C-alpha cells in the first residue's frame, strides 16, 4: 500500500524535472520572454509589453536591416540587474551608416525609408535622427549598427558604436502581452537597399 504513494511521488518528481529541462532547453536555445522596459522603441514597442525573443533562427538566418534585436550593451552602458537593450538593426557588417544634416539615415549612400517605424512627432511627421559627436560609421564584420525607433529617447550605436554579434540575445519575434497587441513583429522590407537589377 505504501508503494503506490511512493510511485506517484516519483512520477510527480519525474514530470517536474522533465518540465524544467524542457523549459531550460527552450529558454536557452529556442526562445525566451522579454519585458520591454525602455521608451526607445516607442511606438513600435511600448514599456511593459512582453515579447518572445527568437534565439533559433539567427543561427541560420543572418540579421538584416529592419530586424529588432535584444542585446547586452557595452559594459559602461549596462543597466541595473543586467536588463538588456532592445533596438532596430540599421546596418550590418560592411555597411556604411551615415546620419546627415537633413535628419535622415543613409546606408551605403542610400536614404533609408523608415517612415513605417520611426517615432512620429505631434504633427505626424517622422522624428528626425540627430547624430552626436560622430555622424559616419563603417560597421565592422561581425557587428551590427542599431538605433531605437524613438530617436530622441534612445542610447544606441550613435553613442556606443556598433555592437558585437556575440552580445545579441536574439531577434524580437512575437508580442504576446497585453493580449490586445498580440502579433508577429515583422521586419520591414527595405527595397531601396537592394542592388539595382542589371
CATH number of residue 132's parent domain: 2.10.109.10
- Residue-wise pLDDT for 11-40, tens only, equals 777 677 766 666 565 556 567 899 999 899
- Per-residue pLDDT tens digits of the chain, which is 198 residues long: 455 677 677 677 767 776 666 656 555 656 789 999 989 999 999 999 999 999 988 888 899 999 999 999 998 898 878 899 999 999 999 999 999 999 999 999 999 999 999 999 888 888 999 987 899 999 999 999 999 999 999 999 999 999 999 999 999 999 999 999 999 999 999 999 987 534
Query: Is the residue at 145 inside a domain?
Result: yes
Extract the C-alpha cell encoding 120.
512620429
15 SS3 class: helix
Q: Which domain holds residue 149?
A: 32-190
List Cβ<8 Å contacts ≥24 apart for 42-48. Answer: 42/119, 42/149, 42/150, 42/153, 43/119, 43/120, 43/149, 43/150, 44/68, 44/88, 44/117, 44/149, 44/185, 45/86, 45/149, 45/172, 45/175, 45/185
Query: Is the residue at 16 inside a domain?
Result: no
Query: Is the residue at 151 inside a domain?
Result: yes
Q: Annotated catalytic sites, by residue? A: 40, 87
Query: Is the residue at 134 inside a domain?
Result: yes
| Number of domains within the chain | 1
With beta carbons less than 8 A apart as the criterion, state whether 68 and 116 touch.
no
| pLDDT reported for residue 196 | 55
Query: Is the residue at 115 inside a domain?
Result: yes
Q: Give the DSSP letter of residue 115.
A: T
Phi, psi dihedrals of residue 133, rounded to the nearest 5°: -80, -15
| pLDDT reported for residue 1 | 45
Amino acid at each position: 500500500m505504501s508503494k503506490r504513494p511512493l510511485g506517484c511521488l516519483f512520477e510527480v518528481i519525474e514530470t517536474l524535472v522533465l518540465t524544467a529541462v524542457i523549459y531550460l532547453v527552450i529558454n536557452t536555445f529556442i526562445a525566451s520572454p522579454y519585458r520591454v522596459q525602455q521608451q526607445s522603441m516607442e511606438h513600435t514597442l511600448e514599456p511593459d509589453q512582453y515579447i518572445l525573443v527568437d534565439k533559433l533562427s539567427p543561427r541560420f538566418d543572418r540579421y538584416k536591416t529592419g530586424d529588432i534585436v535584444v542585446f547586452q550593451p557595452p559594459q559602461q552602458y549596462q543597466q541595473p540587474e543586467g536588463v538588456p537593450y532592445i533596438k532596430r538593426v540599421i546596418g550590418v557588417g560592411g555597411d556604411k551608416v551615415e546620419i546627415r544634416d537633413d535628419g535622415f539615415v543613409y546606408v551605403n549612400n542610400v536614404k533609408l525609408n523608415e517612415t513605417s517605424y520611426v517615432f512620429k512627432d505631434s504633427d505626424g511627421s517622422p522624428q528626425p535622427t540627430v547624430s552626436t559627436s560622430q555622424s559616419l560609421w563603417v560597421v565592422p564584420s561581425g557587428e551590427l549598427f542599431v538605433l531605437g525607433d524613438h530617436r530622441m529617447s534612445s542610447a544606441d550605436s550613435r553613442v556606443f558604436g556598433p555592437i558585437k554579434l556575440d552580445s545579441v540575445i536574439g531577434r524580437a519575434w512575437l508580442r504576446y502581452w497585453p493580449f490586445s497587441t498580440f502579433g508577429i513583429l515583422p521586419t520591414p522590407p527595405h527595397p531601396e537597399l537592394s542592388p539595382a537589377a542589371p
